[in-house]
Every structure is written in C-alpha cells, then in structure tokens.
Structure 1
C-alpha cells in the first residue's frame, strides 16, 4: 500500500475545497499583524528535506500533500490567512506550479495538494511555502526537496532459511534464520515481514496543531528490517509464534518511498517440543495438594537450556497461570491443588534461554464429585411407597472434606443439612402425592466449594 494513501486522499479533497473557496473570496487582512514564514513543513506526512542531495522519496500517484503552519506577528490574532505553495522541477525551475490554501488558521497545519499531473515519476522537485494576509506576504520558506517514486518494486523479494528447510519436519528449539533479498530491484531499501498474511500498514499519526508525527518504520524491528544497501539483503532471526506446527512468514520489499512489492512467503514445519508433565501419584485426589514434575523435551534442551515453565490450570475454581523457574537440568516442580468439580487440565509450555517457547504439554484428570444417594423406600429409577408414606434418603460423599448437603424435591426451596459421621447425611421425607419426583442434591466442602449436583429420579405409588 502506498504510504498514507487514505489520509492523502482525504486531505487532497480538502485542498481542492480550499482552491474553490479561493475563487469566491480572499481572507481579510488581520489588523496590523505581519505574516510570518510558515514553519513545520511536511510533504506526504513525512519530514521536509532541505538538502537537495538527499531528497525525500514519496509516492505521489494521487498528488502530493504539502503543509506548513502559517503565522503572523500577533500570536493572539486567529484571523484566517492564506498559505501559498510553489513547486518546480529541480531540473527546470521555470516550470512553477502554485497551489493555495485559503482560510487557514494561524498556528495550525494548512494542507494543500500538488496535483499528480504536475509531478512526473522519477523527477526531483523543490517546493516552498509563504503566508499571505491581504496585500502582505511573508518571506518564502527554504525549499523542501522530494523525488517522486510512483513505481513499486518490480519483483517480490526472495526468502530462504538455512536452518529450517521448507519440505521436512524440523526440530525446534532455535530461532529461525532468514535471508531476505531484493531480487534484483535496485531501489529496495528494506523489507516488511509478519507471521500474518495481512502486513501492517505504514502510516503517520497526527499530533497537536495538526503536526504529523512521522516515524522511521525500520525502528519497529517486529515488522521491518532495513537492507544492508540499496537493492541488497537483510537477515532475520525469529522465534515462531508457537512451539510447533506449520508456519508461514510473509514478506515484501519496500523502496525509498516505502511502496511495497508483491508479497512472497516461506512455509516450514516444526515438530513438537512440548514438555512432559508427571504427577507425584497417578491419580491425584480432588482438593489435595499434588506435586507435578515438569521435564523438557530432550532435543530442545540440547539446543538451548530450558529456564522456566508457564503452567496454566483449566477447569478449577480459580484458573490461573503460574511461572515456575527450572533447575540447571531443565526440570522443575510445582505444587497444585486440583479443585475442578468435573476435572481439571494443565497446559505447560517451556521457555529456553534463547527465547524459544515450546508448544504446550497437556495433563488432565476427571472427577465425579456428585454425592451418592440411596433410599430404603423410594429406589432410584424405580417406584415405591405412596402418598403420605415416609422414606429415608442417605447422602454420602465421593470426595473428601464434605461438610454439608443441599437438596430439593421437584424444584422446591432448597434445604441444607450438615454432614455427620463419615461425612454422610440422612433425611426423612414424606411425599405429599403420588407421581414422578426429581431429587437434586449437591455437597459443599470445608473450603466452601459447591460440588457437582446429582439428580435422583423415582416414582411414588
């Protein structure tokens, strides 16, 4: 995408509006204030270059936005003024193009658009700005120099990796080394890359008083790398976004105007480098602290020592991520209390000294925390008793630490009873009528965890 295309198009429309207003009226003179030479000059939202030997290269397919801040000697007077811009080819200073921005506010950027048909591809131009207030005019600014570059790089870059070839499954554990080449395009100055196919858009934010805030895109090393010379190459050392799988790096070349080439890509494969997760006992009890040993992938450890682990719990009462440092041999231990009422999973990734983050090793367990329900008169999924015939129901735990049970018949208000000997409870109940009944029961632990509910179905004769 050409640099700032969308913003340039909007401001081009504003510049056209300014020219139309100029034909209708000219701003009145602002009292006795004297116009001052515009400052803060920008072209295409990039800095003005006053060095004729080092012009700013710009895409100008839709014209070129030029701007500066006009002023007068009276800083308290905000009466509108006019800003006049002149541009000419450095090779022929007699071919002057003039554009005007009327009703500009002193102290704020005043934009105008140099028309595309006055700017030839490959030519270098100078432009300057002047503040006009009625019959008075300021001195002209020092000229800014730009070279128009409307031609995108003809070839996409070439992209190779010496340590992660594309057609095999590679052992992970070290950054991927890439070599990017301009592929014979002489004016390529750098490259843009991303693990996502949609590459970032190069743009410029606008600050106070409308002043552009241009930033060298190559300062963002996450996505940009400058070539070692115009038309040259660059190297990258990147850690993939996850520890294993099929990855694609997308790359395009950028010329001096930051216009991008066609996008090319490099796809490669990385085998799993996940750590091993081993509990101290094969089936840890619900609600009991358990120590887990974390061990690195041996091939990964041989490339760069594992220095730590990230342990994520899933399905517990309060899921969390715990960072655990590794010992010199790459192993680590972590103590966790598993309290997921249906079970819990651990996802564990390792991090190596060179920044490599593995894919996740997984460990999980299922729990049945529903209570056991039994009745001497009203059997589960059967029938018995009758309306007005009392029955006894016994609740017993499947996990340790139960202190109470909460129950309800057919959605009636819940009733809670304390657990007694062996953490069980017993209730007496008399059905008010015959028919189908659903007894719902859940237990609560000493730590306040409400365990899974159980539905006990039966018929009253």
Structure 2
C-alpha cells in the first residue's frame, strides 16, 4: 500500500487538538528589493541643474533604505556607485561598498586624477540586499568640475572716489559699483567695509555689474574689499578700494571748564559741515535733546552734571537737506573728593608725637554735602554731620609712632556719594 504524505498545519499542532488538519506548506517571508537610492549629493552639494564643484576629487553620497528593514531585524545592503563623463558614457566606472544596515548613508570618494577641470560628469547609485535583490538605478546626477578662479572685479564710486580727496561723511550713503568686466563665470560679488560684516550681491547679467549702497559709520580712510565668486564657490583675489570719509562732527567749546559738581556749564556747538540746521545732544546716558542752529550754524546749551567723576557730552548735527554728521564727544571730570587738614597731624607729613590728641577738619569737594563718613586706620566707619559751611571736625588720638591712615567720603541730602579721599600722616616718637 503506497505511503501518503500529509502536511500538518502548524496552527493545529500548536493548538494541541491532536487533529491532523490538512494545510498548505509553510512559506518563508517574501524578500523585497531595496528602495531606489535617494538624496544624492556631490561634495555635500545637493544634485540640481547646473551643479558645479570646485574640486577634482569630490565625494558622492546617497541614502539607501530597504522595505524589509525592521528594528528587530535590520537588513544588510550595499550601494553601487557608477560614474562617467557625460560626453563619453562608455567610460563608466563602478564601485560597490561593503554591506551595512539599512537605512543608511553611503559615500564614495572619487580617486585623484579621475576628473579634470571643465569636465562634466554624471553618477547614479543602486542598492543590493543580502539576498542579491537589487533596486533600480537612481536618476543620474550631473555636475561640472570648475577649479578656476573668476576674474578679479573692479570697483568705482561717484560719491566716494578712490583718490586723495575727502568726501561724504559718517552716516552719508554712497553708491559703489562692482564690475565683472565680461567674466561670465562670476555668479556673485562678496564684499565688506574695513573688516565689517560680509555681504553678497549678484551681477545684473552674466559678466555684468552690481551697484550697492554703502554708508560709512566713521570718518577717515576706509577700505572696501570686493571678490568675485563663481557658481562652484571659487573666489577671486580681492580688490581693495580705499576712499576717505571727511570729518563732519561738530566742535564743542566748554564755556565753564572749571565748574564743579552741580554747577551749570555752557557748551557751544560749532558746525563741521555746511548748512547745519540743528544739533542732537545728550549728557552721559540721559535723553537726547534737539536744539536749532543759529544763522552762523552754532548753538549754545546749558548742562548741569550731577554725576561725580567723568562726564560725557555727545552731539551730532543735521543739515537742512537732512544729511547727518559724525558724532563729537566732550569729556570732563568733576572732582568730588573732600579735603582733610590737621594742625597736629598734617596729611603726608610728620606730626605730633604718639598720644597727642589731633583735630581733623573735613572740607566738602562738592555742593550740598550734609555728612561725612570716615575711618582711621581701618577701624569701623563713623559718620559726622556737616556744618552750615559744609565742613566738619573730628578728633583722633594715635597711640603708636608709625604711619597712620584716614579715609573719608561725603554724602549729600539727595544721597549722592562722593569719591573717597585716602591720606596718610606720620606720628612722631616721644623722646
């Protein structure tokens, strides 16, 4: 009697029913070929029409994925890169990578000596999995090798000529023209003024020119640096264009240079350019104020500084035609340190012997002083009220024959604190 072969269903056996159910044979999972590679690039430049690279040894990149790849079971794939000269497609070179898990990015470095300047090439990529199932070839990526610098541009300006003259002024814009002089390889111009921020502008046509507006922010010689850049990123030598920006800032005359703290100062502004109509000024970090100019272009204002130490006045002018000037700066110093005197122990000199009581007279260094804060030899600070004349007297008896120190500052009724005066005096030794 012939034998009969029965295929037992796997689900029936696992169910433990003991029944032998007739079923079709178990089948393995179907393999799917990898996806067509994507994200092609040359030297990290995304493939696009008119792509150019500035090296004869670029690298190609492509991303490969596989539908069979899962987190629990990664799929191993390889990438085959094929490249050729566009005009000689039969001179095709292929290279296959080692296998690695999908999805992943693959790279191929073109060997030195394979590409030449001016040549146009194409490459494509396909992927193969561990079961030798291969994807279709990707769309080809074309690029041109360009390692030649573009021509050096020329620069001109009707507003700021590059001669020995002085023109314009800070804040006054000027037109500058960059010319490629017929070099159609120039894609854009790169420029900066005296090392400032870099900007780019494209020519109006291949081999043409571009005109930009530049506003110098300071007077004196300024250097404009301009380079041509081609579509492959090659940069020309720099053209340096030096022009001179004239000084237009006002002049400031202090009518009361010895004025102290809280005392008014008359400041006169004189124009540094023609047709000045007004001045904008401020004291320290205070609000800006505007004053009109007289017929002769000058203006006089009064400021009353209330900040001990250094004070600053800033001013700039504007013409009737709305042209700005540079900014002028005037600094003055308000000394607010008090004075200290003593008959028994003069400051900076040898005084009485140790144990002799001394009287120290404090004098104000600014108006409005209501009290003095003082200390001898680093002891805790003490406070004494100022008299009607602004002065105060204290006593101190040094007990050792050595150098002693006194420090004192003042405070006004408004809480303004002066600078601190620090002085020394020498105490004599009893014989």
Indicate the residue corresponding to 2:359 in structure 1: 392
CA apart distance, 1:260:
0.6
SS of alignment partner, residue 131 of structure 1: strand
* Equivalent-residue separation in structure 1 for 2:59 and 2:280 (angstroms): 52
RMSD: 3.8
CA contact (8 A) 1:104 1:110 kept: no
1:114 offset after TM fit, Å?
2.4
So what's the TM-score if we normalise by structure 2?
0.77
Q: For the structure 1 residues 435 and 269, does the alpha-carbon distance in structure 2 shift closer, same or farther, using more than 3 Å as the test?
A: same
The worse-fitting range, judged by mean Cα deviation, of 88-97 and 395-404 is 395-404
Is 1:269 paired with 2:236?
no
Q: Determine if contact 2:283/2:311 at 8 Å carries over to the other structure.
A: no
Structure 2: gaps spanning 5 or more residues: 1-28
1:182 aligns with 2:205: no
1:233-273 Cα shifts (integer Å, max 9, x gaps): 11121112x22011001111112212011111100111112
Query: Does residue 119 in structure 1 map to residue 115 in structure 2?
Result: yes
Unmatched 5+ stretches in structure 1? 1-29, 201-221, 314-319
Distance 1:332 1:124, change over 3 A: farther
Return the match for 1:235 from 194, 201, 211: 211
Q: Which residue of 2 aligns with 1:88?
A: 84
The residue that corresponds to 2:223 in the other structure is: 248
Answer whether contact 1:324 1:332 (CA < 8 A) is retained. Answer: no
Aligned residues: 392
Match of 1:316 in 2: none
- 1:260 paired with 2:255, answer no
d(CA) in 2 for partners of 1:355, 1:82:
69
* Contact 1:158 1:181 (8 Å CA) reproduced: yes
Structure 1 residues 119, 345: CA separation in 2 closer, same or farther (over 3 Å shift)? same
Q: How does 1:41-80 map to 2 (within 5 A)?
A: 41-49=40-48, 54-61=49-56, 63-74=57-68, 76-77=70-71, 78-80=74-76
Structure 1 position 360, deviation (Å): 3.0
Question: Which residue of the partner structure matches residue 209 of structure 1?
Answer: none
Secondary structure at the aligned position of 2:389 is classed as helix
Task: Indicate conservation of the 8 Å contact 2:281/2:290, yes or no.
Answer: no
Q: Distance in 1 between matches of 2:78 and 2:287?
A: 62
8 Å CA contact retained: 1:252, 1:262 = yes
Matches of 2:123 and 2:59 in 1, distance apart? 11
What SS does the corresponding residue of 1:180 show, helix, strand or coil? Answer: strand
> Is the 1:243–1:358 Cα contact (8 Å) retained in structure 2?
no
Assess, with a 3 A threshold, how the Cα gap between structure 1 residues 325 and 235 changes in structure 2: closer, same or farther. farther
Counterparts of 1:294 and 1:189, CA distance in 2: 49
Alpha-carbon deviations, 1:331-388, whole Å to 9, x = none? Answer: 9999977454332223455799999875431111112111121224323344443322
1:168 and 2:159 equivalent?
no
Change (3 A) 1:119 1:437: same
Distance (Å, rounded) in 2 between the aligned partners of 1:141 and 1:351: 65
Residues 11-36 of structure 1 show CA distances to partners (whole Å, capped at 9, x for unaligned) of xxxxxxxxxxxxxxxxxxx9945311
Structure 1 contact 129–140 (Cα < 8 Å) conserved: yes
Task: Give the Cα separation in 2 of the matches to 1:145 and 1:357.
Answer: 53
Q: Deviations over 1:140-160 (max 9, x none)?
A: 22112111111112x311111
Which deviations, in whole Å up to 9, do the C-alpha atoms of 1:386-444 show, x marking residues without a partner? 32221211112121233332223333443333334333322111121334333222223
Q: How does 1:300-449 map to 2 (within 5 A)?
A: 313=284, 320=285, 324=288, 338-348=305-315, 358-449=325-416
Question: TM-score, normalising length from structure 1?
Answer: 0.72
**Rounded Cα–Cα distance in structure 2 between residues aligned with 1:98 and 1:335:** 84
CA distance in 1, matches of 2:413, 2:385: 11
8 Å contact 2:126–2:137 — kept in the other structure? yes
> 1:244 touches 1:358 (CA, 8 Å); kept in 2?
no
CA distance in 2, matches of 1:75, 1:353: 75
The secondary structure found in structure 2 opposite 1:35 is: coil
Tell me, what secondary structure is at the counterpart of 1:423? Answer: coil
Secondary structure at the counterpart of residue 243 of structure 1: coil
**1:130 Cα deviation from its structure 2 partner:** 1.9
Q: Aligned-pair distance for 1:310?
A: 8.2
Within a 5 Å distance, the mapping from 1:127-142 to structure 2 comes to: 127-134=123-130, 135-142=132-139
Q: Considering only CA atoms, is the larger Rg found in Structure 1 or Structure 2?
A: 2
Tell me if the contact between 1:325 and 1:332 (Cα under 8 Å) persists in the aligned partners.
Answer: no
SS at match of 1:137: coil
